[in-house]
Amino acid sequence: MVILDGVKDIVAKFKKSNLKLAIAESCTGGYISNAITNISGASKVFESGIICYSNNSKIDLLNVDPGTIDQFGAVSEIVAKQLAHNIRVLSNVDIGIGITGIAGPTGGTPEKPVGLVYIGFSTIDETFVEKHQFDVDRITFKAKILEKTLLLLQNFIK
């Protein structure tokens, strides 16, 4: 399976480089953390994964600013950025990933349609966010986010 090979590759490269990562997942509900922890040796690189599905968990567990959620919504670039940065700092790791989106099939709006996702990526040097839109079912949505996350990690570790 191509995805599994990609995850194995990331774990091996991170292990070799002595890098650690942590993930804050909302709409993926632990899917990314699950994929990584399915690989033997992941404990050498994967520090923590937090499922922050509710707004309260984003605020209470990951110190997302409640005013930011009120102003921009939980599914926003700024929340993804805070999730990525805060999980990195709280877990004391090299890379933090923050994911927030709308898996559907309900919950979308014209401004924020079903399939919208923001993937935050944070290192000590920078924090940035990628915005994607996937017109797929709920499970495929999670798989697409895993693919994009693996690509971000691959590009970081080249």
Strand partners, 25: 51, 99
Q: Is the peptide bond before 110 cis (omega within 30 degrees of 0)?
A: no
pLDDT of residue 157: 86
User: Quick one: 57 exposed, middle or buried, by C-beta within 10 A (0-12, 13-18, 19+)?
Assistant: middle
pLDDT band of residue 1 (cuts 50, 70, 90) is low
Residue keyed to tokens 């979308």: 108
* Strand order from edge to edge, sheet including 127-133: 46-51, 21-25, 95-101, 116-122, 127-133
Domain that holds residue 14: 2-157
* CB neighbours of residue 69 within 10 Å: 19
0.95 exceeded by the pTM? Answer: yes
Give the CATH number, domain containing residue 84: 3.90.950.20
pLDDT tens digits, 33-74: 999 999 999 999 999 999 999 999 999 999 999 999 999 999
Domain count, the chain: 1
